[in-house]
Structure 1
């Protein structure tokens, strides 16, 4: 009948609650949907999975157990004033999975909206009966929750009837007793403005803005030390070792004058007066002895420019003839660093530069031959014949430096 309004659990809702009780878990209701029934009342059925014609949905505001029946769960949602223009005839409750847990028939209520010239917030309340209310809980977003007048009144009434009225302390808020005392050390009471004024007036009368004190009235002045500020006695001597007195400017000047007189800004010393001069080594600076030799292995002496020049000249002379270059030599006395070209082999690893000239590791046998290049004119031919006619003996030598 159109005059009977109620809320029932859907088949899906019953199954979820039964499963939650069996597994000692909870289902979380989160959303309320309202519909207009397509212009007429609807009779809720357990098989429904949605309202007939949804016109609005929003987050639940509260979910509580009825005080006079622990099996009744009351869900509330507030339809804001900016939406409307339709009637409310059906109400549904959804869990966090979007499952329709309960469906209800609601008294026909018109919800106006602001553009129509009137507005109001409507609190929609749905009551459903469950076997165990502990199986149902509410999941809400605190940023959109609105406290209804009834909720505030109930909360205030509950608070007034309870004994949860904590006293204020230094670490928490609470109730406290006022006190006019100005000499109390109680930390559980609050001073009144009168007590504060009394203390202020007393302090103001005790110490004028500008006043003086005799030195002997000042107590507890610390002595100055190396670790703290304080008062110190002056000392005019220049040979004191005190660490608790302060030197006078006169003492400082006397010490400064003596220091200036002791060491002129420009002075000399004989070499014999200089002590502790270190020797120069590979790891430190110091004095060293010069060495003119070019074959020394010393690491504690310094080479002279003459020794450096001699070594440089020898190196330049050595590099003037590349390693392996054949050279005509008219004497049986072979110069140092050279050898006759007699077809001998050599170790390429021991003579890498020579191996560049002769990659085969074999020196050509030039005995009975003279050095000649690839002919480009008849001039070389006449030279060779002239050397043969005049019986000039030429030996081929090569440089063998490593």
Structure 2
């Protein structure tokens, strides 16, 4: 989870993950990755729909996370298989495809299972070739954990092995005009295999020539993740995308009702409504009048991808204190760190209370109850009658004669 706790990762536009952790979720027995919790809800989770009943062989091994600051109308995803998903994003150059690939590894596979794994590798590469063929020509990126060795990408100090399937991968890249962005010898795997420390280059990034010319950097970020053998790879391209639009909502709770009522009262309402067209015109006139009266009397709330439903105006000063305490805690002593933790806990508690209040109000509106003292008393009486055993004084006379 250290990777998703990094502030730089939180600001990334797109995250492509291989071998995500997926767990059972929901009454329908669907699967979901828990990484979305660490990302603070700032990303759309694009995981191949899978049921728990499909077993381990059905779990997806690739996953996309798309930052909510990108306009959701400008991207779409297609899950070709459990080992390949394609994200199509509209940019200033036009639509581009990002293929997220996982190729099974042969390391540690029993002799009896090698034929099955080899077939799975060939299937993954075949699906990749088909996805590239259907993609946007000249605007494609391929990232993934290929688990294939070839002298083209390691250096002399690494194991210079060559897998037969690596030639197929090189053929696919050549047929579709892809260039290898991964620098030769860049360590993307640093782990222990059969008791030996191994460094290799098996996580690769390919791109079409038009996109390769816009490469800013493509390098491994060891500082982001220390607990895993695969190192995160940061690929940055000089591209522009459409930002998510800011939604505007009317804050009716803060309405100046006196001014609003005066504006509505001064409206000249239509008369002589006799036909169906007259009714339709009158209703539209009524709606326009209410909308005109709200101009200047109802405050506007702007919602962006960073907006939080629990952060009300009352919590804004506390939010500012948390941000200030966080800055002090980064370079301060233990007392500053403890103060930051205490204030952050208080903000979380107050936000939880605010969200609970919002949920109660929503429940009141849905059930038709009134959150007044009289309404609370009536609900209390209902709960008492439901949970208490009937007594002789509370049983109607007609039922008191019956046996319980």
TM-score of the aligned structures, taking structure 2 as reference length? 0.19
Which structure shows the bigger proportion of residues in helix conformation?
Answer: 2
TM-score normalised per structure 1: 0.19
